Amino acid sequence: MKLHVLLDELETARVALEGGATVVQWRLKDVPRVDVVERGRAARSLCARHGVPFVVNDDVEAALMLGADGVHLGRNDPGADAARSHGLMLGLSAASLDEARAADGRADYIGAGPVWATPSKPDADPPIGLDGLTDICAAVSTPVVAIGGIDAGNAAACIRAGAAGVAVIRAARDAVAVRRAIDAAL
């Protein structure tokens, strides 16, 4: 749970796994399901060889087709009940304390953020900052994974704020440094 990497191509998956990623989330936005599945097969296989959970973003059916370990659903994505009924690990997004409380107990982890502004998601909610992250972590019993603007320079602050882990997109290729920062904060 320490280091989630969100990615959309195999080479970044390889670099991130070799660098210490503990979860890989396959995130292809605005792509037909058939492409998500076709392009995800090699990444799924790579994760299996490394013994790292493979999670599909936003699409329970694609997760099932890929034999994924889990699915991460945004606030407006359907499928939480279907994911649970199929035994998938479930992550839910929360951009506020109220949303985190609503997700508490319904998921295996809560993706909280954005902690900081991020160019990876242009339609992201306003940043919650470390204070917002701290409040969420203190208010829920479900493990929290911080997301949004996180890199090796600020990952440790998220762990110190109470997060069980961090999720990175831009810093996925810098997994070694991010993982070192996380481990130093634990």
Which residues participate in catalysis according to the annotation?
Answer: 27, 93, 121
* Helices assigned H by DSSP within the chain: 10-18, 33-50, 60-66, 80-85, 97-103, 129-139, 155-160, 175-185
DSSP code of 95?
S
| Phi/psi of residue 106, nearest 5 degrees | -100, -10
Q: Please answer whether residues 4 and 166 qualify as being in contact, where contact means their C-beta atoms are separated by less than 8 angstroms.
A: yes
- What are the C-alpha distances in Å from 138 to residues 76, 104, 131? 24, 12, 11
Report residue 3 as tokens. 């280091």
Alpha helices in 30-154 (DSSP H): 33-50, 60-66, 80-85, 97-103, 129-139
> How many C-alpha atoms does 32 have within 13 Å on its Cβ side?
3
